[in-house]
Structure 1
Amino acid sequence: MRLTDGDIVVFAGDSITDSGKSINAPLGYGYVNLFYNLMLAKYPEIKITVINSGISGNTVIDLLDRWDDDVLSYKPTWISILIGINDLHKFLGGLTLFDPENYYKNLRHLLIYTKKILHNVNLILMTPFYISRNKLENGFRAKVLELLPQYVEKVRLLSNEFSAIYIDLYDTFKKIVNIREPNVYAPEPIHPNFAGHMVIALKLLEALEA
């Protein structure tokens, strides 16, 4: 287990990370809460602080705007980032500022800045994903599935550059929905249900145990 006693772990992202934290404070209902409880169950000797800094609707640019206050101010020893599906949706909606290249540049800028402020922080980068196998020709979901690998590739490149733990949720869910129906893991492609969030939490735990 790479986490040690006293670690502070901040999870940054959009609604998938947020997952109702304003109602079920402070960790929400999703993978952040599940991961923390898995740690309590499996590693009771490791006392960590977990902070949910996800906000629904966020893009990488939104993260940049609030990074100092919502992430760096906690002086975390670990930062996990799951962001990108809103960037992709905005790009498909015609906003070129959110294309894969700008997504890459903005996320890279965020990581450079983070390392400048917190030299020894550990990074976890999780890829955006889409829990669907709908490939109806010219349909919106088909367009998302066609474009998403470009965003995933940017996360992989940045993981290599910044020596981050890389968690490929895109590939994970792609394989799972070829075994079970997508609605087993999510009521719609973006937001996982309990089982879908458990998939993320377990992948996270496995990556930290590797």
Structure 2
Amino acid sequence: MKKWIALSVFFTSILLMSFTLHKKKKVVFFGDSITQMGAGAGGYIRLMEDIIKSENKSEEFELVGAGISGNKVTDLYLRLEKDVLSKQPDIVVIYVGINDIWHKRLAGTGTDYVKFGEFYDVIVKKLQAANIKVMVCTPSVIGERKDNSNEQDGELNMYSNWLRYYAKTNQLPCVDLRTEFQNYLIANNPSNDEKGLLTSDRVHLNAKGNLFVAQTIWKELKCLNNF
């Protein structure tokens, strides 16, 4: 009897170890309408799942969208517990900043530079306190002209510079979408068009833009697989 009990305990332990070893890493994408749309058909999150499948890594990652249209960094802070921490993710990808800048002109609202950094830091610290890995994304574009002549390019560059510095200082992986978009537009926008390359309306991603973001984030995300 003791022998059978010992064998039973042994095989149960093996099964539990196998489950633990093969547990998917849950990745929550935390952001605004770009991420909300990214969780829908043809969106960057769904396209990333296709890429993951093509690389035979479907058993390693579970991707969850947590984007809400119109959100700024302050909105992310207010719904952090409900929409992110409650899901107990392993990794959170923060993609915010467009509305913090865009809404200054669009609706007379937005988030000033100092407040943006303060709220962003609190979000990151709360995630880290829960042993969650954080990935930072710089905001992409508000207008696709390649020569920095879009009205809010200056602010986008300023906020992106802060995010790069913040990520480096805190040793966080950074997906520099701002630079990636700018480089793409320099190479592929000879007419200096305001939209239609990677966005449908200067901000929100078209089909090509969703694929571009999926590929760009995935390059960094898969490097976090062995933490």
Please classify the TM superposition score into its range, dividing by the shorter chain length: 0.7 to 0.9
> Which residue in the other structure is 2:156 paired with?
148
Structure 1 residue 162: deviation in Å? 3.1
Aligned equivalents of 1:45, 1:55: Cα separation in 2: 26
Distance of 2:38 and 2:125 partners within structure 1:
30
Percent identical:
24
Unaligned runs of 5+ in 1: none
Map of 1:189-200 to 2, 5 A cutoff? 189-200=202-213
What is the match of residue 113 of structure 1? Answer: 126
Confirm or deny that 1:39 pairs with 2:52: yes
- Aligned residue pair count: 195
Tell me if structure 1 keeps the 8 A contact 2:32–2:70.
yes
Q: Does 1:122 align with 2:133?
A: yes
- 1:43-78 alpha-carbon deviations (Å, 9 max, x no partner): 246332211001111000110111101001111000
**Partner amino acid for 1:194?**
A
Q: Within the alignment, does 1:169 sit opposite 2:169 as a pair?
A: no
Question: Normalized against structure 2, the TM-score is what?
Answer: 0.78
SS state at 2:93 partner: strand
Structure 2 residue 26 is the aligned partner of structure 1 residue 8: yes
The RMSD of aligned alpha carbons is 2.2
Q: Which runs of 4+ in 1 moved over 6 A?
A: none
State which structure, 1 or 2, has the greater radius of gyration over its C-alpha atoms: 2
Q: What code does the residue aligned with 1:203 have?
A: T
Q: Is the 8 A contact 2:146 2:185 kept in 1?
A: no
The residue number in structure 1 matching 2:165 is: 157
Structure 1 residues 20 and 10, CA gap change in structure 2 (3 angstroms) = closer
Letter in 2 for 1:13: G
Pairwise mapping of residues 173-188 of structure 1 onto structure 2 (< 5 A)?
Answer: 173-181=181-189, 182-188=195-201
Residues 5 and 45 of structure 1 are in contact (CA less than 8 Å); yes or no, is this contact kept in structure 2?
no
More displaced 10-residue stretch of structure 1: 125-134 or 163-172: 125-134
- Contact 2:48–2:218 (8 Å) recurs in 1: yes
How big is the shift at 1:145? 1.0
Which residue of 1 is the match for residue 216 of structure 2? Answer: 203
Unaligned runs of 5+ in 2: 1-21, 190-194
Q: Is residue 34–residue 205 contact of structure 2 (8 Å, CA) maintained in 1?
A: yes
